[in-house]
Amino acid sequence: MRVCVCATPEQATARVVARIARTVRENPRAVLGLATGGTMEPVYRGLIEAHRAGLGFAGVTSFNLDEYVGLDPAHPQSYHSYMRRHFFDHVDIPADRRFLPCGDCDPAEAAAIFEARLEQHGPVDLQLLGLGHNGHIGFNEPGSSLGSLTREKTLTRRTRDANARFFRPGEVPPQSAITMGIATIMRARSIVLLALGAAKAEAVAEVVEGPVTAFCPGSALQYHRDVSVILDEGAAKDLRLVEHYREAELLMSRRAS
């Protein structure tokens, strides 16, 4: 795992944007794995800026991690809508190469279709991940099998409460989602996880330095050969080896320049 601690959330976000942009520049036919949530909104703003400055996405295929069960694509809080609003409506990824699980289909069928599409177009070259307060990646909640594929997962109360802020007052967030499984995520060639703010610090420490356990699904990333964890100071504050990660990054960046 490469752990990069940036001075500010903006710098951490810019680093992720630069990594995605480099992937697309080097391979215009790249397959990107995309995430949603509050952390990703500025990432998409950065990518839209890069697009306006000349970065083309016309050859890219994208796969989103998850979608709420029971929300049709037009629902404002569906991840289909989120992706259109924050990214797809502003760049040129062809509509027939943007894949999200179907939220208003039979969940088992939707999951099987999504895995089949991944087989057909994958593997994902670069998978973008956020991190839940409970260590979830995608919507793989604590207790998720580390060998899981795309399937329906019940969301914990903590996740539903955290996501209630995106729904209208009085609207009840869905109780489950279809999510790429942990084994599905692990098939990506490279993974970048972005976590920002002190509220994520405990989960970050468990992912990076804790034991590998289904209790903290993100800890499975320790088994992946190419993972970068990009953090701001707040999210890094509980890491025991933080000084070591800083030194390693300094060495790597000196070598690169």
Q: Residue 234 gets which letter from DSSP?
A: T
d(CA 133, CA 70): 24
- State yes or no: residue 39 binds ligand F6R (CB under 6 A): yes
d(CA 175, CA 235): 27
From the list 19, 80, 86, 136, which residue makes contact with ligand F6R (rule: CB under 6 A)? 136
Query: Which of these segments, 1-9, 15-23, 37-45, 111-119, binds ligand F6R (CB under 6 A)?
Result: 37-45
- State yes or no: residue 234 binds ligand F6R (CB under 6 A): no
To 5 degrees, how large is the angle CA 223–CA 224–CA 230?
Answer: 110
d(CA 244, CA 3): 10
Q: Residue 125 gets which letter from DSSP?
A: S
Looking at the Cβ atoms of 5 and 129, the one nearer to ligand F6R is: 129
CB 207 to ligand F6R: min, Å: 12
From the list 65, 71, 204, 230, which residue makes contact with ligand F6R (rule: CB under 6 A)? 65
What would the DSSP string read from start to end of 66-107? Answer: EEETT--TTSTTSHHHHHHHHTGGGS---GGGEE---TTS-H
**Do the beta carbons of residue 218 and residue 63 sit within 8 Å?**
no
Q: Residue 197 gets which letter from DSSP?
A: S
**Do the beta carbons of residue 63 and residue 36 sit within 8 Å?**
no
- State yes or no: residue 38 binds ligand F6R (CB under 6 A): yes
Indicate which residues carry an active-site annotation: 66, 134, 136, 141
- State yes or no: residue 206 binds ligand F6R (CB under 6 A): no
CB 235 to ligand F6R: min, Å: 11
Query: Which of these segments, 46-54, 86-94, 127-135, 241-249, binds ligand F6R (CB under 6 A)?
Result: 127-135
- State yes or no: residue 103 binds ligand F6R (CB under 6 A): no
Instruction: Count the site residues for ligand F6R by CB under 6 A.
Output: 13
From the list 42, 66, 78, 176, which residue makes contact with ligand F6R (rule: CB under 6 A)? 66
Looking at the Cβ atoms of 60 and 195, the one nearer to ligand F6R is: 195
Which residue in 102, 19, 88, 101 sits closest to 60, CA to CA?
88
In terms of DSSP bridges, do strands 2-6 and 227-232 run parallel, antiparallel, or are they unpaired?
parallel
- State yes or no: residue 236 binds ligand F6R (CB under 6 A): no
Interface pattern 2-31 for ligand F6R (x via CB under 6 A)? ------------------------------
Query: Across the beta sheet with 66-68, what order do the strands follow?
Result: 66-68, 176-179, 151-154
Question: Can you give the binding site for ligand F6R, defined by CB under 6 A?
Answer: 35-39, 65-66, 130-132, 136-138
